[in-house]
Each structure stands twice: as C-alpha cells, then as structure tokens.
C-alpha cells in the first residue's frame, strides 16, 4: 500500500482555477488596451473591428504628447539621478555608522511613503512654486527626487547590509583615500542594488500622477498628466496607443533588468 | 571630524526631505489655523453633509477594495507559493508587470472595458441581461474595480514571501494528527500568514484611501473621494484653506490607520516585534 498522501500536498483544483481567474483579471485589461490601440474605429472598442496604425500616427503627430514625453524623461532621469546622488551617501552612512546614528533617522527617509502623495503634491505646489517661486521644471525635479528617495535608500541599504565593510577598512588602512575606496571597493559590490534602485525609481517617477498633477503648469506637462487631461476631453484610441508605447518601454526596461539581475530583485 | 562624517553624508538627503516634504506639509497643516478660521474649516469638513458623504465614500471604497484584494491576493499568493519554481517566477513576473504599468494606463483600461460601448456592456447585451447599455463607468463599482485591479498585485507580492516561508512540515504535522484541511488552514496557515496579511492590508488600504488617478478617471464627479476633492479645491475652485484642511485630515487618518494596524500586528504576532 502506498503511503497516504496528505491532501495538503497538492493544491486544490478550485484554488488553481480561482488563481487563473485572478491572473486573467490582472493581465486581461492590458491585452484589451493593446487591442484598442491597433483598432481602426474612432471609438474605443474591443475586440478591434479592423487593424490599423492610425492611432499611433495620431499619438506621434500630437505635439503635446511629444513634449510631455520629453519632460517625463528629463524629470525621471534628473529626479532619479538626484535621488541616487543623495540616497547612496545616506544609505552608506546608515549602514556604516549604524551605532552612532539615532534610529529615528530612518523614519525621515520613509516619510515620503508615509505621507499621502496627493497631500505632498499639494503642499509642494504651495511651498515650492508659490512661496519659493521655483519654476515648474525645478519643482517637478525636486518633487520626483523626493518621491523616489526612499527606494534608493532602501534598496541600496539592503545591498550594503550584505557588504563586508572590513574590505573597505583594509583598503583605507593600506593608505587608500576614503572617496577612492568607496568608488573602487564599495560601489562595485553594491552595483546590482544601485541598478535595481535606479530602475524602480525611474519607473515610479515615469508613472507618477499625484505629485505631478499639482506641479505641472501651463505648457509643461508630464506624460501621465497629459494622458489624464486628454482622456477627460476625448475618448478615442490615441491614449491606448500611447499606453502601449509606455508598456513597451516598461517591458524593455524589465527585460534589461532581467538580463542583468533577474526579476526577483523587485520582490525583495 | 570622524564623528561628523556620517552626518555630512546624511545631510543632503535629509535636507531634501525637510525642504521638499516636511516643511511644505507642516506649512499646509498650519494653514487652516493661520487663517484664524480653523474651527469653522474643520467643522465644515467633518460635519458638512457633502463632505461627510465624501469621507464615508472614501472609507467605504478603501475598505471594500482592501477586503476584495485580500481575498483575491491571498488565493493567488497561496497557489503561487506552492507552484514549482519555474512557474512560480513566471507568476511573480506576471504580478509585477501590471505594477510597473502606470495608474493612468491601468485605469484607462477599465474605461475601455466599462464604457458605454465597452466589453462589459457588450457582454450584458449579448447575454440578454439588459436591453440597453448600463451605466457602469462613473459608479462606485467602477472605482472599486479599478482600485482592486491596481492593488491586487501588491497584495500577492506581500503574501507570497510570507506564505513561502511557512515550514511545510507544520500544516503536514497538523494534518497527520487528524486536523481536517479547513482546520489546518484556519489554525495553522492563517495565523502564520498574519504578518503578511496585515502588511498587505495596510499598503492597500492607505493606497486606495489616498488614490487619485483611478477615482478621477473611473468615478468622475459623482464619485468624489477625498483625494479628488482635495484636487478640486486646490486647482478648480482655488479654495486653498479647504484643500489644506482635507490634506491635514488625510495625513492624520492615514497615520492612525498605520498605527492601529501596527498594533494589531504586534498583538496577533508577538514574535514579529
């Protein structure tokens, strides 16, 4: 007689079916956007009645979409770059000098996640643009840098936690200057953390609505905000094709990460 | 000098948080008081019948979203955590991908589905359940569906890690001692998964409580929630005192929820402290 298998060792078929439905729910709508983007009708319908690229042409011909894409790229690269520039030293200080620093400091770097983005956005509008008189792009850059700072500090902090600082001490005791030691010894060891932080921050910035909706001004908009205001006026498949282009960009970034690091980086 | 080094390294990042977030938000919090009408502003916010409706709707939408994402997310995470390695990573990627797609794009997808000529109405008409298109968009149903869609991947990812770490010998031991599957689930798996359930619920509740793009696109003016009301006051009617009042109340409510859930987590799982 075979050993009795516990019913717990296999997953109940009902649960598997339910999970299949959940995944259909997660991925189906994105497939529908894809279909709508290639349709040849002037209204949004799925499945498309015929295929065409006219809505992609329409999206590319739209100067507001083009301009907002450029702004989004500038803000995402600039904001992420700034966040890394500030986040790497902060994460380093917190891992390296843990004993000397008050614990409450880490709360400061979680604050951007704790405070609702919509509140942060409104407050930045009042403080940065109205009180301090910063121009739109500068305020957007600072706002996005703040938005993604926690990701850089946390992801790089996690890589630093696995780094053995005695290697750095050895180099310094042998006479290597601190900055050079950081660049040649520490940085190469946390490379994957820096890349993961960059990608996570970049995508977060690229998709941000709640902060940007307050900080964008007349003539300067980011892509998600431009999509938002287009959808409120027109209901045609142009936005579907812009969405497809954004998804393709995301897939490209994800594929690049997958090849260098493996996607499980995102779940840590 | 050596003692100063860590502070010098932290200073630029801290400065960004202070100047771009802390000072502006505190300034917003002070604004209703600086206007000298704080009492009447807060009274109007909490007791005005329209605002009360908005507050209740926001809480309701966030609660329903959290419960539905918990049910969907837990089911999926349970199956994913027990799947063979290759399938598991594929399923995790499939959950991460929607998360990396922006909220505007994901809400727009539901505008396509729920619109008058959308798939949902198509299906209802073809099945003969209705003779003319039903209003699905700009309803509370649409907002909840959009938010559940937004946050279920987050719930799955919060739970997979916790469920994976449950020692499979524990449920097996319970079963071999005669516990029926239902009891094994309720008395062994569920308590061990509690930390993940709470983390996931906090993320989803606070996320849907403060979400802006989804209620804006799928709810419209009929389904105004706190975030969209804040936006309207700030950018459309230019009532900045009103907007500041909502903003402060949102921060306080969010912090209260996070603290309560943290306490609950500690009580349910003393080992996690």
Q: What is the CATH number of the domain that holds B255?
A: 1.10.3720.10
One digit per residue, the tens of pLDDT, for chain A of length 268 reads 444 444 556 778 899 999 999 999 999 999 999 888 888 777 666 666 778 888 899 899 999 999 999 999 999 999 999 999 999 999 999 999 887 788 888 889 999 999 999 999 999 999 999 999 999 999 999 999 999 999 999 999 999 998 999 999 999 999 999 899 999 999 999 998 998 899 899 999 999 999 999 999 888 999 999 999 999 888 888 999 999 998 898 888 878 777 776 655 555 4
Buried b (16+ CB within 10 A) or exposed e, B66-100: bebbbebbbbbbbbbbbbeeeebbebbebbbbbbb
Contact B105 A123 (CB under 8 A): no
Cβ distance of A122 and B243 shorter than 8 Å? yes
Rounded to the nearest angstrom, the minimum Cα separation between A48 and chain B is 11
Chain B residues in contact with A256 by the CB 8 A cut-off are none
Closest-approach residue (CA) in chain A for B3? A100
Q: pLDDT by residue (tens digit) across B104-136?
A: 999 999 998 998 878 898 889 888 888 888 899
Is B102 within 8 Å of A43 when comparing Cβ atoms?
no
A250/B251 Cβ within 8 A: no
Interchain pair A6, B157: CB under 8 A: no
Q: Which residue in chain B has the smallest CA separation from A224?
A: B104
**Euclidean distance between CA atoms A212 and A227, whole angstroms:** 12
Tokens of B270: 């003393």
CB within 8 Å: A124 and B206: no
Domain that holds residue B87: 53-272
| Cross-chain CB nearest to B27 (options A116, A126, A149) | A126
For residue B37, being part of any structural domain is answered with no
Q: How many domains does chain B have?
A: 1
Q: Is the pTM above the cut of 0.80?
A: yes
Q: Is residue B244 part of a domain?
A: yes
Sequence ranges of the domains in chain A: 64-237
Asked if residue B150 is part of any domain, the answer here is yes
**Over the Cα atoms of chain B, what is R_g?**
23
- CATH tag for A64-237 (out of 1.20.210.10, 1.10.3720.10, 2.60.40.10, 1.10.1370.30): 1.10.3720.10
Probe site for chain B from A29, A55, A198, A227 (most B CB atoms < 10 A): A29
Q: Which residues of B touch A43 (CB under 8 A)?
A: 117
Is A267 in Cβ contact with B96 (below 8 Å)? yes
- Helix/strand number for chain B, H first, E second: 14, 0
């Amino acid at each position: 007689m075979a050993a009795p298998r516990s019913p717990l060792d296999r997953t109940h078929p009902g649960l598997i079916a339910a999970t299949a439905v959940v995944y259909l729910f997660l991925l189906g709508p994105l497939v529908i956007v894809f279909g709508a983007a290639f349709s040849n009708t002037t209204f949004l319908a799925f499945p498309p009645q015929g295929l065409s690229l006219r809505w992609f042409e329409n999206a590319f011909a739209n100067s507001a979409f083009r301009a907002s894409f450029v702004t989004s790229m500038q803000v995402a690269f600039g904001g992420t770059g700034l966040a890394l520039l500030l986040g790497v030293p902060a994460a380093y200080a917190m891992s390296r000098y843990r004993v000397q620093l008050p614990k409450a400091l880490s709360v400061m770097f979680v604050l951007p996640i704790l405070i609702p983005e919509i509140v942060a956005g409104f407050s930045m509008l009042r403080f940065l643009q109205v009180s301090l008189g910063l121009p739109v792009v500068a305020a957007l850059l600072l706002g996005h840098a703040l938005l993604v700072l926690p990701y850089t500090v946390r992801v790089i902090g996690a890589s630093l936690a696995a780094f053995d600082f005695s290697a750095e001490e050895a180099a310094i005791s042998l006479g290597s200057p601190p900055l050079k030691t950081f660049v040649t010894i520490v940085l190469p060891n946390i490379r994957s953390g820096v890349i993961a932080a960059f990608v996570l921050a970049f995508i977060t910035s690229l998709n941000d609505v709640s902060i940007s909706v307050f900080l964008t001004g007349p003539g300067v908009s980011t892509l998600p905000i431009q999509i938002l205001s287009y959808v409120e006026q027109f209901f045609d498949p142009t936005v579907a094709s812009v969405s497809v282009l954004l998804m393709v960009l995301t897939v490209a970034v994800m594929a690049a990460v997958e090849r260098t690091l493996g996607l499980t980086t995102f779940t840590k | 000098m050596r003692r100063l080094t860590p502070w010098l390294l932290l200073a630029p990042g801290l400065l960004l948080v202070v100047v771009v977030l802390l000072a502006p938000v505190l300034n917003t919090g002070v604004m209703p008081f600086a206007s000298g009408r704080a009492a009447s502003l807060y009274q109007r916010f909490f007791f005005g019948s329209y605002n009360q409706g908005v507050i209740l709707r926001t809480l309701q939408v966030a609660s329903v979203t959290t419960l539905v994402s918990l049910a969907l997310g837990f089911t999926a995470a349970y199956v994913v955590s027990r799947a063979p390695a290759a399938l598991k990573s594929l399923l995790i990627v499939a959950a991460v991908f929607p998360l990396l797609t922006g909220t505007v794009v994901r809400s727009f997808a539901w505008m396509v589905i729920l619109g008058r000529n959308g798939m949902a109405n198509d299906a209802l008409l073809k099945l003969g359940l209705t003779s003319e298109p039903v209003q699905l968009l700009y309803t509370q149903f649409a907002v909840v569906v959009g938010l559940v869609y937004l946050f279920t991947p987050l719930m799955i990812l919060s739970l997979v890690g916790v469920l994976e770490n449950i020692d499979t010998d524990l449920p097996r031991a319970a079963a071999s001692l005669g516990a029926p599957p239902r009891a094994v689930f309720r008395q062994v798996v569920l308590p061990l998964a509690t930390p993940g359930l709470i983390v996931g619920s906090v993320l989803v509740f606070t996320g849907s409580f403060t979400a802006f793009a989804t209620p804006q696109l799928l709810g419209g003016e009929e389904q105004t929630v706190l975030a969209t009301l804040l936006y309207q006051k700030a950018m459309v009617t230019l009532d900045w005192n009103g907007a500041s009042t909502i903003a402060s109340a949102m921060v306080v409510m969010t912090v209260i929820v996070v603290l309560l859930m943290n306490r609950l987590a500690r009580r349910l799982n003393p080992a996690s402290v």
